[in-house]
Structure 1
Amino acid sequence: MKFALKFVAATVAIVCATSAMAQKGETVKMVRIDPLTGLLGPVGVSQLKGYQFFAEKFSGAGNPAGVKFEVTGIDNKLSPTESLNALKAAIDQGARYIIQGNGSSVALALTDAVTKYNERNPGKEVIYLNDAAVDPDLTNSKCSYWHFRFDADTSMKMEAMSSFMETQKDIKNVYILGQNYSHGVQVAKYAKETLARKRPDIKIVGEDLHPLAQVRDFAPYIAKIKASGADTVITGNWGSDLSLLIKAANENGYTGKFFTYYAGVTGTPTALGTNGAGRVYQVAYNHYNMGGQMDKWMKEFHDKYKDDFYTGATIRIFQTLGAAMAKAKSTDPVKVAAALEGIKVNSFNGEVEMRKADHQLQQPLYITVWQKADKKYPYSPEGTGMTLAPVMEYANYVSSTPTSCQMKRPS
C-alpha cells in the first residue's frame, strides 16, 4: 500500500512538473482584428506584417516561456459589427489571444464582447491585447480584466504634448480637428483641459469633427483653419485622414504647426514631404530613430517588406506575453492574465510596467519633429529623405495619468 501511494505521489509530481513546463514549444495562436482593405487598409496591412515579423523573432528561444507565436489577421473593415463577427471566427479557429488597435469604437465593442464571452464560457477564456486604441474610457469607466492596453492613452499623450506646447511661446491660437468617433472626441476634450491648465493664454479658435475615413478632400477644413487665424492645429487623425489633411494644408498654403499623434503612420510621411519640416510634431511611445536593437530590427523589416515598422507595441506584446507565460508556467489565458497584472519588462527604451489597477502600460513618451534626415537621425520613412527627430522625452511618471477603473476580477 505504501509503495502504491508513493508511486501515485511520484506520478502526480511528474504530471505536475510536465504540466508546469507544458508551454515550452507550444504554439500560441493570435488573431489580429483590424482593417486590411479600404482607405485605412494600408495601415492594418503594414501592422500585420510587423506582427508576423516579430512573432518569428520572439518565438522559441526568443521568449522565456519557449512558446511559438503564430499571428493571422481578419479584416474588420473598421466596423464594430464586423469585428464582433471576426472575434467569433477567431475563437472558433482556436485563438485565445485577440489583438486589435485601429479604432476605439471597435475596441469598446471588443472589450464588452470579450468580457461577456469569458463570463459565459469558463475554461475557454480569451485575452484582448490592445496595441493602438487610445480612448481613456477603455482603462477607466469601461475597463475590463481581460483587456490590456500597450499604447499610451489619449490623456497620457496629451499630457506630454501639452507639456511641450507649454514651452512654445509662439503658439497663440489653436484649432482642434478630429475624426468623429470616440478618439477624436477625447483628443479635443483633453486638449482643451490640459491647455487651460498649462497655457490659459492660448485661445481655441476653432473645433471640428469629420467622418472617419470618408473625407477625400480636406481643402474646406484647411480654409476654415486659415480663416480662424490658427497658428497651430491639434489633431488625433491617423491613416488617410491625416495624410489627406496634410496634403491639403500643403496644397492650400497653410504654414502653421501641426501637433499629431500619428504622423509616422503609413502614407503620412509621403504626404508631409519636405513642406512640413520644422512644423509637424508627433507624440508617441517610440519613433524612427530609437537606436540600438530597434534600428537593426527596422532595417531588417524594411529590407524584407520594403515597408517601415512603427508600431512598437507589437514588440512589447510579445515581450510581456513571453514573460507572463514563463511566470504563469502556462499559456492558459486565466493564468496569463493574472501574471500580466503589474508585470515589468525591459523593452526597447527602458522598463515598462502593466499597471495592475487598470491594465494600462506605463511607458516613456517622445515628442518628435519632422525634419531632414541626417547623420544623427538617419532613418527616412517612405523614401522621403525626412525623418521624425526626438526633441523631448517624458519619463513614465510624467506621462502617467490617474485611473477611475473599478476592476471586476474573476473569483
Structure 2
Amino acid sequence: MNAVRIATRVVVMPLLALLATAAQAAPVKIAVLETLSGPQASTGLAYRAAVRYAVDKLNASGGWNGQPVQLLEYDNQGGPAGASDKLKAAAADGVQIVVQGGSSAIGGQITEDVRKHNLRNPGKEIVYINVGAEALELTGEKCNFHHFRFAGNAQVRTKALVQAMKQVQALGTKVYSINQNYSWGQDMERAIVDNAGAGGYQVVEKTLHDVNKIQDFAPYVAKISASGADTVITGNWSNDLLLMMKASKAAGLKVRFGTVYLDQVGNIANAGEQAIGHFVVQAFNPEAAGAEGERFVADYKAKSGHPPVATEPQTAFGLEMVADALKRTKPVDGALDVNALARNLETAKLKTPMGEASMRAADHQVLLPLVVSVVAKDARYKADDTALGFKPVKVFTAEEAAVPAQAACKMQRP
C-alpha cells in the first residue's frame, strides 16, 4: 500500500510541477519603441500615452493567459539607427509585440529588422504593430506577414480630404503641395497630384523639404503666397507643421490648409484665428462620434489625464484590435505563438465610436472610418485651450475611405 502511495506521489508531483510551470510561463511583453526625447518627443509621447491606455484596459479585463501583459518602453531617439538598436534590445528582453507610429522612416527600419529577425529566429518571432507610419511602401513592396498597420496612408487621407473640401466648396482650383522629403511626404505629393482630377484643381507648385530641420518657414510661406494658391495640402507633422502654422500666422497668409496632422497639440495655439477654415482628416472626432465618442473621451481622460488627441485615438483602437486577437490566441505550452497571433490579427475587427474598423488580410492595412473636420469657433470640443476646435464636415465609412491593396504587396505567410 505504501509503495502504491509513493509511486503515485512520484507521478503526481512532476505533473503538478509541470502545471505550475505552465501557469508561471513568461507573460506577453509589448514594447513601445518611440521617440521619447528630443524635439519630436511630443509625437512619441502621444503614441506612448495611447498604448498605455490600451494595455491598462487589456489588463483590467484579465490580461492574457491569466497574467497581466507587460509594457516596456524604449526611446528610439528620433532615428532609424536608434530604432534598430532598441529593437535588438527589445528582442533580447523577450518582447513579442513592438508598437511604433512616429515617422515612416523609422517604421521602414523596424519592419525590415523585424522581418530579418523572424527569419533568423523561428519560434521567437516578433510582430510589428504600426499605429502611425503611413508610407505606402510599408503595405506595398515592404509588406510582410509580421507587420500590421492600424493607421491610414497618403492615398486614403488625401482622397477623403479632397472629397470633403470640394463638397463644401472650400478647395478652390489652385493647390500648393508642401511636404517633407522622405517616403511619407513623397507619397503625399503623389496623392495630391493623383487627386487633382477628382478635386478639380491644378497643382500650382510642389515643394519637398528637409524633415524637422527647418527653423523658419517664412520663405516657404512667401512662396505659397506668391503662387496664388487657394489651398495648401500638406502631410507635415511635428515641428514642421507647428513652425509652418506659426509662420503663416506671422505673415497673415490668406489660404486654406488641408492637413493630416493639424490636430497635433500646439498647432491651433500657434496659428490662432489664422487657422479658422483650415481642414484636417482624422480617425476620430468626438463631436462626430456621438454618445460613444463622449464615453471614450471621458474614459481616456480619466485614465490618461488628458482627452485623446491627434494620433491617440487610432492608436488606442489599433491596440484594442490587438487585444481582441490576443484573446483569440490560445497559449501553446503556456506561451504566446506569435504566428498564431498574426493569423488572428488578419481577421481583427472593432466597432469604434466612428464605425467598424477591420484588418485587410491581403496587405495588413487597416480599413478604418475617417472624418474631415474644419477649424471653427462653434466646434463643441476646443483645442489647445483656445476658443477654436475641429467641427466635423464629413464622415467616411471604412469602405468609402478605402483604396485597393497595392499590387506590389506579395504577402509570404509562414
In which range does the TM-score fall when normalised by the shorter chain? 0.7 to 0.9
1:324-356 superposed Cα distances (whole Å, 9 cap, x missing partner) = 122221332111001111222222322211111
For the residues of structure 2 that align with 1:395 and 1:25, how far apart are their CA atoms? 41
For the residues of structure 2 that align with 1:159 and 1:244, how far apart are their CA atoms? 26
C-alpha spacing 1:125/1:64, structure 2 compared with 1 (3 Å): closer
The Cα shift of 1:44 comes to 1.2
1:80-117 superposed Cα distances (whole Å, 9 cap, x missing partner) = 11110010011112211101111111111111110110
Q: Report the counterpart of residue 408 of structure 1 in structure 2.
A: 412
For the residues of structure 2 that align with 1:328 and 1:185, how far apart are their CA atoms? 38
Q: Report the counterpart of residue 233 of structure 1 in structure 2.
A: 232
Question: What amino acid maps onto 1:406 in structure 2?
Answer: K
Q: Report the counterpart of residue 3 of structure 1 in structure 2.
A: none
Q: Report the counterpart of residue 42 of structure 1 in structure 2.
A: 42
For the residues of structure 2 that align with 1:142 and 1:126, how far apart are their CA atoms? 16
Are residue 367 (structure 1) and residue 372 (structure 2) matched? yes
Question: What amino acid maps onto 1:35 in structure 2?
Answer: T
C-alpha spacing 1:62/1:382, structure 2 compared with 1 (3 Å): farther
For 1:343-354, list aligned pairs within 5 A: 343-354=348-359
C-alpha spacing 1:242/1:116, structure 2 compared with 1 (3 Å): same
- Partner-residue secondary structure (3-state), 2:69: strand
C-alpha spacing 1:406/1:332, structure 2 compared with 1 (3 Å): same
Match of 2:285 among 281, 284, 287: 287
The Cα shift of 1:301 comes to 4.3
Question: What amino acid maps onto 1:282 in structure 2?
Answer: V
Q: Report the counterpart of residue 317 of structure 1 in structure 2.
A: 318
For the residues of structure 1 that align with 2:304 and 2:362, how far apart are their CA atoms? 38
For the residues of structure 1 that align with 2:187 and 2:346, how far apart are their CA atoms? 26
Q: Which moved more, 1:305-314 or 1:222-231?
A: 305-314
Question: What amino acid maps onto 1:383 in structure 2?
Answer: D
The Cα shift of 1:260 comes to 0.3
The Cα shift of 1:128 comes to 0.1
Match of 1:356 among 352, 357, 361: 361
- TM-score for the superposition, normalised by structure 2: 0.87
The Cα shift of 1:24 comes to 11
Q: Which moved more, 1:262-271 or 1:245-254?
A: 262-271
C-alpha spacing 1:303/1:351, structure 2 compared with 1 (3 Å): closer
Structure 1 contact 37–77 (Cα < 8 Å) conserved: yes
Task: Give percent identity, aligned residues only.
Answer: 30
Structure 2 contact 53–316 (Cα < 8 Å) conserved: no
C-alpha spacing 1:294/1:337, structure 2 compared with 1 (3 Å): same
Question: What amino acid maps onto 1:109 in structure 2?
Answer: Q
C-alpha spacing 1:241/1:167, structure 2 compared with 1 (3 Å): same
Q: Report the counterpart of residue 4 of structure 1 in structure 2.
A: none
Question: What amino acid maps onto 1:363 in structure 2?
Answer: L
Q: Report the counterpart of residue 390 of structure 1 in structure 2.
A: 392
For the residues of structure 1 that align with 2:286 and 2:216, how far apart are their CA atoms? 28
The Cα shift of 1:227 comes to 0.4
Are residue 337 (structure 1) and residue 336 (structure 2) matched? no
For the residues of structure 2 that align with 1:56 and 1:147, how far apart are their CA atoms? 23
Structure 1 contact 288–388 (Cα < 8 Å) conserved: no
- Partner-residue secondary structure (3-state), 1:94: coil
- Partner-residue secondary structure (3-state), 1:274: helix
The Cα shift of 1:283 comes to 0.8
Structure 2 contact 346–361 (Cα < 8 Å) conserved: yes
For 1:11-410, list aligned pairs within 5 A: 27-61=27-61, 68-169=68-169, 171-196=172-197, 198-200=198-200, 202-277=201-276, 279-289=277-287, 290-302=289-301, 307-310=306-309, 311-330=312-331, 331-374=336-379, 377=380, 379-403=381-405, 404=407, 405-410=409-414
Structure 1 contact 63–319 (Cα < 8 Å) conserved: no
For the residues of structure 1 that align with 2:79 and 2:337, how far apart are their CA atoms? 29
For the residues of structure 2 that align with 1:306 and 1:272, how far apart are their CA atoms? 25
- Partner-residue secondary structure (3-state), 1:58: helix
Question: What amino acid maps onto 1:292 in structure 2?
Answer: A
For the residues of structure 1 that align with 2:43 and 2:30, how far apart are their CA atoms? 19
The Cα shift of 1:293 comes to 4.4
CA RMSD for the aligned pairs?
Answer: 2.6
- Partner-residue secondary structure (3-state), 1:113: helix
Question: What amino acid maps onto 1:362 in structure 2?
Answer: L
For the residues of structure 2 that align with 1:396 and 1:63, how far apart are their CA atoms? 29
Structure 1 contact 67–322 (Cα < 8 Å) conserved: no
For the residues of structure 1 that align with 2:366 and 2:52, how far apart are their CA atoms? 22
Q: Report the counterpart of residue 4 of structure 2 in structure 1.
A: none
Q: Which moved more, 1:69-78 or 1:288-297?
A: 288-297
Structure 1 contact 65–325 (Cα < 8 Å) conserved: no
The Cα shift of 1:163 comes to 1.6
- Partner-residue secondary structure (3-state), 1:369: strand
Q: Which moved more, 1:156-165 or 1:54-63?
A: 54-63
Structure 1 contact 239–266 (Cα < 8 Å) conserved: no
The Cα shift of 1:228 comes to 0.5
1:308-332 superposed Cα distances (whole Å, 9 cap, x missing partner) = 4222122223322222122221332
Unmatched runs of 5 consecutive residues or more in structure 1: 1-6
Question: What amino acid maps onto 1:258 in structure 2?
Answer: F
Question: What amino acid maps onto 1:243 in structure 2?
Answer: L
The Cα shift of 1:232 comes to 0.4
- Partner-residue secondary structure (3-state), 1:124: coil
Q: Which moved more, 1:162-171 or 1:208-217?
A: 162-171
Structure 2 contact 179–185 (Cα < 8 Å) conserved: yes
C-alpha spacing 1:168/1:389, structure 2 compared with 1 (3 Å): closer
For the residues of structure 1 that align with 2:291 and 2:25, how far apart are their CA atoms? 29
Q: Which moved more, 1:380-389 or 1:214-223?
A: 380-389
Q: Report the counterpart of residue 3 of structure 2 in structure 1.
A: none
For the residues of structure 2 that align with 1:165 and 1:234, how far apart are their CA atoms? 11
- Partner-residue secondary structure (3-state), 1:318: helix
For the residues of structure 1 that align with 2:253 and 2:62, how far apart are their CA atoms? 48
C-alpha spacing 1:296/1:62, structure 2 compared with 1 (3 Å): farther
1:234-269 superposed Cα distances (whole Å, 9 cap, x missing partner) = 000111111110111111010210000011112213
For the residues of structure 1 that align with 2:361 and 2:355, how far apart are their CA atoms? 19
Q: Which moved more, 1:74-83 or 1:229-238?
A: 74-83
Structure 2 contact 178–232 (Cα < 8 Å) conserved: yes
